[in-house]
Chain A
């Protein structure tokens, strides 16, 4: 499986993503510059974390207008796999590829720590290697990760089983104290209705090597590679 990792000015998790993917059997990854317009030959797209365009205006607001995003949209519309991590999740929401938005953390602080998240649905190409309710230890690092959607959108996300991961405590309980940023319903990551686009604030690419303290992010990449 050949991954394209999109690079915007200000992306800073792009190298982590490429390194992680290239270390996985059956996967390879290449950088694609945001001014490029072709994704020919790629099987999946990763929009990595960072601070695209310095987070000017709103996180992800300017990246949405980069030339490559038109190609990402048509790639996604034809059912292609798109994974947005952290700033990538923000860009997907700003682009309208995922519902809702990410706003300033409730506590106002940038939060950088290991966090447990619970797999809410294994019915996706991103989570099919997990078990329902599985708890994963994956780092988070963001200042604007508070997921917001209105009541109608939240109801639709729940009804369509689009909430793939929620913040939880070590026992898997989704409590207020285990919610690091004030996200509605402890939402850490969602997919679109057709289940081929996934955005999440935690960084699975930073949890794929024992040297980094956790390998539990592998679940997401293993899911993608599992055919």
Chain B
């Protein structure tokens, strides 16, 4: 199966890339843009039998850093 892990900076962490992108969106002429956060998406190919706990372990211990990032998992 394919699993997507989305990693985003925590709301409390400064995200200068997101702020720069928000500013650029304003330059596109779009007003009303709120906060923009930039993270990453990781696609994993895993055996169908992989338990959720293992996927969470990969996401928490390697793919994200819980000090600065949150993650979500979608299959």
Chain A residues packing against B (C-beta within 8 Å):
57-58, 61, 65, 93-94, 99-101, 103-108, 146, 148-150, 182
Contact B67 A149 (CB under 8 A): yes
Check if B14 sits within 8 Å of A148, measured CB to CB: yes
The smallest C-beta distance from A167 to any residue of chain B, in angstroms, reads 16
Within 8 A of A (CB), among B12-52: 12-17, 20
User: In the assembled complex, which residues on chain A have CB atoms less than 8 Å from the CB atom of B63?
Assistant: 57
Interchain nearest-CB distance for A70 vs B (Å):
15
Instruction: Please tell me if the beta carbons of B65 and A146 are within 8 angstroms of each other in the complex.
Output: no
Q: Which residues of A contact B67 (CB under 8 A)?
A: 93, 99-101, 148-150
B62 interface residue per 8 A CB criterion: yes
List 17 additional contacts besides A104-B17, A182-B16; criterion CB under 8 Å: A57-B62, A65-B62, A94-B65, A99-B67, A101-B65, A101-B68, A103-B9, A103-B13, A103-B14, A107-B16, A108-B20, A146-B14, A148-B13, A148-B67, A149-B67, A150-B12, A182-B14
Query: A106: which B residues are within 8 A, CB to CB?
Result: 14, 16
B17: which A residues are within 8 A, CB to CB? 104, 108
Q: How far apart are A187's CB and chain B's nearest CB, in angstroms?
A: 13
Query: Nearest-CB distance from A29 to chain B (Å)?
Result: 30
Contacting residues, chain B, for A182 (C-beta < 8 A): 14, 16
Task: List the A side residues contacting B20 at CB < 8 Å.
Answer: 108
Listed from nearest, the 4 A-B pairs whose CB atoms lie closest are: A101-B67, A101-B68, A108-B16, A106-B16
Residues of chain A within 8 A of B68, CB atoms compared: 101, 103, 148
| Alpha-carbon distance A146/B14, docked complex (angstroms) | 9
**Cβ B16 vs Cβ A58 within 8 A:** no
CB closest residue in chain B, given A183: B14
Q: Which residues of A contact B9 (CB under 8 A)?
A: 103
CB distance from A105 to the nearest CB of B (A): 7
Which residue from chain A places its CB closest to the CB of B9 in the assembled complex? A103
Measured in the bound complex, the distance between the Cα atoms of B68 and A103 in whole Å is: 8
CA distance A108 to B20 in the complex (A): 9
Contacts of B65 in A (CB 8 A): 58, 61, 94, 101
